[in-house]
Amino acid sequence: MTRNSVLLLFAALLVFIGCNDDYSKYKKEPDYISNPDFEQKAYFEAYNESLKLWKTPFEELYVPTNYGTAHVVVSGPEDGMPVVLLHGMNASSTMWYANIEALAQDYRIYAIDFILEPGKSFIEKEMKSTDDIALWYHEVFAKLKLEKFNLIGASRGGWLATKIALQDQSQINSMILLSPAQTFIWVRPSTDLLKNIIYAFSSKEKQMQETLKTMSVNPGNVNKTYLDQYRIAVDKDSINKFTIDMMPFSKRELQSLKMPVYVLIGDDDMINNEKTVRMTKEILPYGRAEVINNAGHFLSIDQSEIVNKKMIQFLDEMDALYD
């Protein structure tokens, strides 16, 4: 039996150990949160301010794993169908502030901070490959006793969602991918991408302003409180060593996804284009895709009301399908 098989079997067993959903043992803040260093303190304070943008009750869990502690923000009715949220690069789980109220109305939401980037998750053991990253997520799912769930990933989170499903899709009812990065097509060279490269050599403030212009059709619509947190994350320069390992999945890999997959991209998206839509419909066995008008890469904020409505309609359909 391979190492991956052993870990996945272990994760599966954890799902069935214990029958209650009492997560009280995960609610205590670990030492790195309660006694942060100076740099961490500034970021955690900004993170907490962003969480105030969530217009719905939530609780924070700190889940111990083989690689460190996973921070999970949980919201929504306890008896709701579970939905797991995977955020974009350096964005943390607070990026869902424009979507969480709508999603948590009927669904039990689990937003997980990526362990290799700024957020409240904390790594203690080295990860050697993207397979380890996927295994980590499966372990978190097991600790949370998520037997069946829907998976939503934005940008890099969309790539991770696909990677997780390709490793083991048995628990995933459906996936929603919001402008998934490097998943269907390579990030294409463009004027916006060139601008980002040029402004990488500018001041941090100028760089942030210009990056937002390429990612959003309306940068002024991004909440300033959240931007303050995001700016600190970007300043930490946390591009992890696995970023270069993110490459589009093969046709054979994509064809192996047996759950319904719903892809949304913006009409002014610098990461995806009509080819992504076409590939989703032609290659995935149960793929559907749409283009959101007047939206960039940050479509979940640019057109949050429309995106929220479309995600919920899809989730409701999946809930009825698996009921």
Active site positions, annotated? 297
- What's the angle, vertex CA 180, arms to CA 123 and CA 125, rounded to 5? 10
Other residues' Cβ atoms within 10 Å of the Cβ of residue 321: 10
Please tell me whether residue 131 adopts helix, strand or coil conformation.
helix
CA-based nearest residue to 307, from 88, 100, 76: 100
Question: Angle 204-215/224-235 helices, nearest 10 degrees?
Answer: 120
DSSP 243: G
CA distances from 166 to 10, 182, 253, 280 (A): 18, 15, 7, 16
